[in-house]
Amino acid sequence: MDSIPPQLPVRSKVTVTAIPGDGIGPEVMRATQQVLAAADAQVEWEEALAGAEAFRRGIASGAPRETLDSIARTGVALKGPLETPVGHGEKSANVALRKTFEMYGNVRPVRELPGIRTPFSGRGIDFVVVRENVEDVYAGIEHMQTPGVAQCLKIITEVGCERILRLAAAVAEAEGRRKVTVATKANIMKLTEGMLKRVGEQVLAEYPSLSNEHMIVDNCAHQMVIRPEQFDVAVMTNMNGDILSDLAAGLVGGLGVAPSANLGDGVAMFEAVHGSAPQIAGKGIANPTALLLSALMMLRHVGDFATARRIEHALYVTLEEGRDLTGDIAREAEGVPTQQFVDRVIANLGRESALVPAREYRPIALKRWPQITWYRAASTRELVGVDVFVESERDPRAISITLQAAAEGSAFDLAMIGSRGAQVWPEVAGHTFLVDHFRARFMFREPPKGNGIAEITDLLQRIGRQHNWMHIEKLQRFDGADAYSKA
């Protein structure tokens, strides 16, 4: 290993909001700040509160106004883990921060680290998972439909897909990567997951330096385990990305060494993937590697590539040599205190590890999305029917008789009854387990003259005389294509 000359300091200081957080948060934050200071990173910290203490002070979001103001001012935050109190009805402060600043992109590098033994060691795993962070089932729109049937809406928007895909492409370009894998469940959820696939085909074609591919997300999970080297940048909707990014972190040593960035328009928040580890909090033995790696992403974000590189090499040398590691990654039985690990990393500043992948980083070219209500026009729109969701303990044939009677004299014919996505009337082969939640599909006999609302209201009143209906969905066609799933 050669020595690398100290880098020239960046001239102007960057102010960063530091949220130490809960549990081991303050310990790993202090450790990270020490290493950055020793490497002469030109960072000025503005410390801010969020998490358990904020909840104790009665701040329902877990993130006080001053903290939000600080992030809005600095545009960059380094954050320790925040506890989500269980059983008090409080929301997660993490989610509050992400949503307040619309940090729509979660970026998680997945890279093999020296000295961290895993079943995948030596495979040269080095990719990035880009996860949509604000849409999907995580929008949290849930309703009990009947006392025994729950529903969660999966909201996917075209512009949300475009944002995350352009971010994935920007990450690829910033890191000199070559391929973007769009992983979706488009084979089943053709409209929601299919939207990411479809928009991906359009948007990624605009990046000639990148190849792109589509992969069904369950196969993607399988491929990440059997041949993880094939991935470069993988982009996914929120829940798929949540699961697969944790799976990916497991390939290279687990949550304790996994960094991440949450990116939005004008705001970036960097944090370790792990939580507050309450069992070891206050003992001075936590591993600060994940937050330190997150801080390196932060330094690159503010353009200080040289200091990031210098610290990265010192960390790699420390892990490679295996001396003075914390208990969770120590090769010998005994680990050392956090401070001893920090001192070792600092002592290694200026040394170079041959194992740091050669990568020319450039700033991530984040597109600024105008603050408007995104409106997508269609050249033609038709209303062709309505799905009415009804609660009933009767069997499908009996329900069809009452619903057909209800539709008599209305503008609709009953076309189909479904149960949890399977057609149960008219009868088809097979056996569907029945619950008290049915979807009745009514089609207009002829196109409505106006907007169809009067006809739908009339139908609902007729159905309501015999059945409890919970919600309806209009069946529409946009630009000549069906805008609803088939039974």
Q: Give the interface with ligand NAD as residue ranges (CB under 6 A).
A: 24, 28, 81-84, 94, 255-256, 271, 274-280, 286-287, 290, 328
Which listed residue (138, 232, 324, 328) is catalytic? 138
> What's the burial of 486, exposed, middle or buried (CB within 10 Å: 0-12/13-18/19+)?
exposed
Which listed residue (22, 136, 242, 328) is catalytic? 242
Other C-beta atoms lying within 10 Å of the C-beta of residue 119: 8
Select 79 or 467, whichever has its Cβ closest to ligand NAD: 79
To the nearest whole angstrom, how small is the minimum distance from the Cβ of residue 271 to ligand NAD? 5
Select 328 or 455, whichever has its Cβ closest to ligand NAD: 328
Is there a catalytic annotation at residue 218?
Answer: yes
To the nearest whole angstrom, how small is the minimum distance from the Cβ of residue 108 to ligand NAD? 12
Is there a catalytic annotation at residue 232?
Answer: no
Select 182 or 285, whichever has its Cβ closest to ligand NAD: 285
Is there a catalytic annotation at residue 138?
Answer: yes
Select 62 or 200, whichever has its Cβ closest to ligand NAD: 62
CA distance 313 to 71: 29
Select 284 or 303, whichever has its Cβ closest to ligand NAD: 284
Paired tokens of 377:
């026009």
Closest residue (Cβ) to ligand NAD? 275
To the nearest whole angstrom, how small is the minimum distance from the Cβ of residue 274 to ligand NAD? 3
The catalytic site residues sit at 138, 185, 218, 242, 246
